[in-house]
Structure 1
Amino acid sequence: MVPQSVTAYIGLAAAFVTTVCWLPQAIRIIRTRETKAISLSAYGAFTFGILLWLVYGFLQGDLPLILANTVTLALQLTIVVLKLRYG
């Protein structure tokens, strides 16, 4: 059996990696304002899914889910808004 503290650290590490992976995309779009290759429906659906994971994290009281999905949601919303703005 894995101790709870180890489980929490694994969850936080996974949350960190899967959240920061969106940072380069957001930075690139902010710098270049180029969104032609991005699918609005895919990013919109993913953003909605992240919102659902965030709600689930709050309902479960799961800090790694809450932290990761809060930051990921912010990054995804940035990308979706820029896609809507720049096409």
Structure 2
Amino acid sequence: MDTLFSYIGYIASIFTTLSFLPQAAKTIKERNTEGISLIMYAMFTLGVFMWSIYGLYKHDIAILVGNSITFLFAIIILSVKIKNEKAKKQQI
């Protein structure tokens, strides 16, 4: 039974992680972050980073790998968002 739940965890981790790939690719390509909340994305990025640390602590590969990859996607999107916010403020 544990094996079944381990597979469910791995599959959930894969789907959750891959769900960020289209947004990261679109953000990199278009450099448009108008519809993204800076505060929400900063909190989300910190959250997945902390999940990665938790996965490392618990020796849970699904949590560690999934959240580490999601963190990379999130930090890319957050970086573009911060850059766009700074550019918008300089235009004012």
- TM-score when normalising by structure 1: 0.92
- How far the C-alpha of 1:86 sits from its partner, in A, is 2.1
> Unmatched 5+ residue regions in structure 1?
none
Alignment match, 2:13: 15
Which SS does the other structure have where 1:36 is aligned?
Answer: coil
Greater mean alpha carbon deviation, residues 4-13 or residues 74-83 = 4-13
Tell which has more relative contact order, 1 or 2 (C-alpha 8 A, sep 6+): 1
Alignment match, 2:74: 76
Matching of residues 22-37 of structure 1 within 5 Å = 22-37=20-35
Deviations 1:56-76 (A, max 9, x none): 101100000011011000000
Q: 1:65 aligns with which of 63, 66, 71?
A: 63
Alignment match, 2:48: 50
- TM-score when normalising by structure 2: 0.87
Runs of 4+ in 1 over 3 A off after TM superposition: none
Give the root-mean-square deviation of aligned CA atoms: 0.9
Q: How many residues align?
A: 85
- How far the C-alpha of 1:5 sits from its partner, in A, is 2.5
Separation in 2, partners of 1:67, 1:59: 13
Separation in 2, partners of 1:15, 1:66: 9
- How far the C-alpha of 1:8 sits from its partner, in A, is 1.7
- How far the C-alpha of 1:7 sits from its partner, in A, is 2.0
> Unmatched 5+ residue regions in structure 2?
86-92
